[in-house]
Amino acid sequence: MVIKSFLFLLIFFLSSAFGAHHLTPNASSLLAGIEIPNHPSFNGVSSSSDCDYSSPEKSETLRTPGGADSDFDQTKPSVKLHLKHRSAGQTPVAAKDSLVNSAVSDLTRIQTLHKRILEKKPRKTMNRPKKTDVSHDGKLKPAEAEPPTLAEETYAGKLMGTLKSGVTLGSGEYFMDVFIGTPPKHYSLILDTGSDLNWIQCTPCYDCFEQTGPHYDPNQSSSYRNISCNDRRCSLVTSPDPPRPCKPESESQSCPYFYWYGDSSNTTGDFATETFTVNLTTNVDGVKQHHQEVKVENVMFGCGHWNRGLFHGAAGLLGLGRGPLSFASQLQSLYGHSFSYCLVDRNSNSSVSSKLIFGEDKDLLKQPHLNFTALIGGKEAPVDVFYYVHIKSVIVAGETLDIPENTWNLTSDGFGGTIIDSGTTLSYFADPAYNIIKKSFMEKVKRFPLVNDFPILEPCYNVSGIPDYKNDLPSFGILFNDGAVWNFPVENYFIKLEPEEVVCLAVLGTPRSALSIIGNYQQQNFHIMYDTKTSRLGFAPTRCADV
C-alpha cells in the first residue's frame, strides 16, 4: 500500500514538473526507477555531535563587499569547515517515514530545479565595488546605502565550523552550523549548491515551518541591518507579487524579497545584512593549532517571516550556487573563487566529519588523482545558479555505452543538461540513458541471483554469504565531453540493504528532456572542488575522514 501510494505521489510530481506530454511511453519503468527504497539500511546512521564552537583566543573582523565580484588580490587563504552527523540527542525519524520523506524530497527537488530553469528570470547584477571606496590607509570609507569593500590584505588560517548529515531526520541533505548576529547565536542551515540566497526564519514568524531551536530575532542582534528598497543591492532579489511601492529617498523602508523553489517551498521577508561568526584555526609549525574568532560582516541574507517547505528542522538555507547572493560568492573577496567539500561515507562512525573548505586547498591540488572537467557557464547555462557539466556517455565494466549524445545536451530553452548538486541525494539520469545503464548492469551481472521483491530500486541482487561481492559487480564511471572520466567505487552506485544482504543499483531515472543530476550519495569520499574563476569542477578519490 505504501508503494502504491508513493507511486501516485510520484506520478503527480512528475506530471506537474514536466507536463504530461514529456512522459515517454515507457514512463512506468522510469517512474519505478526514480523512487528510493523503503528500507532502514539506506542512509541508516546514528550520530552524535554538537556544533563546534570553542572559546576564541582572539577576535578578528572581516567585511564582505556585498557582491559576487571583486577586483582584489586572489592570493587568498583557505578556510575549512567540518560537516558532522545529526546529534544523537535528537529523536530520529522512523526508517519507513525517513525514506519516504527522502524520496519525496528528491522528487520535489527535481520538480523545483526544472521549474526554476523554465522560469529563467533575468538576474540583475551590481556593479563591482570600486577601489576608490578604500582610503589610502586601507580602511573602509563609510557610504550610505552602498556595500563596503575590502582593503587588499591577506588572511591566514582555516575556518572551523560544523556540518552534518540529515539522514536521521528523513533528509539526504547536509546541514551546516553557523553563528549569526551579535552576540552570535547558533543555527543549523541546509547546505545547497543549487540555490544562491542565504536565508533564515525570523521573528515575527507569521507562517513558518517547524525548526529545531528558536527563530532568529533581529531585534536581539546589534549587527542586523535592513537593506533599503532604494539600495542597489535590492535589485538582486525578486520582490513579492504585487510589488510594494518604494518611497523615493527612503532609507527606512526595507527591501522585501520572495524566493520560490518551484513547488510549495518558498520564503518571503526582508533582505538584510548580518554578521556571521566562525572559528578560525591556524596551524603553528604544522603541529600546534591556534584558535580565534572570526566575524564576517555584511553578509547579505533573507530574514524570512513567511516560509513554507520540507526543510527537516533546519532554521533556513545556506546557498552555495553560482549566483551573486550565495555564501560562496560573497566570500570570494576574502578567500578567492573556489570552494570544495569532502563528504564522508554515510555509514561511517559519527565521530568523523565531512569538510567544507573555502579558498584554494593546496593539499587537494597536490592530489595525484585529482581530475577536472569544465563547468558550463555563460550563454550555455540558462540559469546562472546551477553548476552544469557536460556528460558524453557512461562507462559500465569498461564499455562506453551507446547513449545518444543529445540525451546530455543542454538546450537554449532550458531542457536537459547535467548538474552536480549537494541537495539531491541520489543520481538521476534522463531517459534513455537510465534504461540503457540499467540494462547494461543486468546483462553484465551473472554471479548473483536477481531479486524481484525490491521493486523500487532495480536491479537488485542477493549477495548473501559472499563477502567479496564488490569484486564481481561491474565498474561504473562518467565520461565527460572534454575527455575527463569520473570513476566511482561500488559503494557509491550500489546500496547494500541489511539484514537481507541485497545490493541495489542506486542510479535512477527522469523523463526525457529533464535534468540529469549527480547527487551527494555518488559524491561520497570524493574531494569535490568548484573553481568558478577557471570554470572547472575538480574531483579526487579521498578518504574524507582523513582530510
Average pLDDT over residues 240-254: 85
Do residues 303 and 199 make contact, with C-beta atoms less than 8 angstroms apart? yes
Q: Which residues pair with 496 in a beta bridge?
A: 503
Q: CA-CA distance, 70 to 67, in Å (whole number)?
A: 8
Place of cell 557509491: 492
* 488-530 pLDDT tens trace: 999 999 988 877 789 999 998 988 778 899 998 899 999 999 9
Helices 2-18 & 95-119, crossing angle to 10 degrees?
10
513 vs 536, more confident: 536
Phi, psi dihedrals of residue 379, rounded to the nearest 5°: -70, -20
pLDDT at position 478, please? 98
Task: Note the pLDDT tens digit of each residue in 157-176.
Answer: 445 444 566 555 445 678 88
Give ∠ CA 101-107-108 in degrees, rounded to 5.
85
Top-ranked range on mean pLDDT: pick from 119-123, 246-250, 529-533:
529-533
Does the pLDDT at position 47 exceed 80? Answer: no
Q: What amino acid is encoded at 425 in this protein?
A: T
Question: How does pLDDT run across 179-232, given as a tens digit for each residue?
Answer: 999 999 999 888 889 889 999 999 999 999 999 899 999 999 999 999 999 999
Non-local CB neighbours of 295 within 8 Å, separated by 6+ positions:
59, 60, 61, 62, 182, 184, 275, 276, 277
Stretch 348-359: mean pLDDT = 79
| Beta carbons within 8 Å of 362's beta carbon, 6+ residues apart | 78
**In the chain, % of residues over pLDDT 90:** 39
pLDDT in tens, 264-300: 689 999 999 999 987 655 554 555 556 667 788 999 9
Q: Which pTM was predicted?
A: 0.78
Pairing of strands 316-319, 185-192: parallel
Known catalytic residue at 196: no
Exposed/middle/buried for 95, CB within 10 Å: 0-12, 13-18, 19+? middle
3-state secondary structure 90-150: CCCCCHHHHHHHHHHHHHHHHHHHHHHHHHCCCCCCCCCCCHHHECCCCCECCCCCCCCCC
Q: Is 73 a catalytic residue?
A: no
Lowest mean pLDDT among 166-180, 183-197, 244-258, 350-364: 166-180
- Three-state DSSP at 292 gives strand
Which pLDDT does position 291 carry in this prediction? Answer: 64
**Average pLDDT of the chain, as a whole number:** 75
DSSP 190-252: EEETT----EEEBSS-SB---BSSPPB-GGG-TT-EEPBTTSGGGGGSPPPSSPPPPPTT-SS
Catalytic residue among 192, 196, 231, 431: 192
**Of 106, 231, 421, 431, catalytic:** 421
Taking alpha carbons only, the member of 524, 517, 528 closest to residue 495 is 524
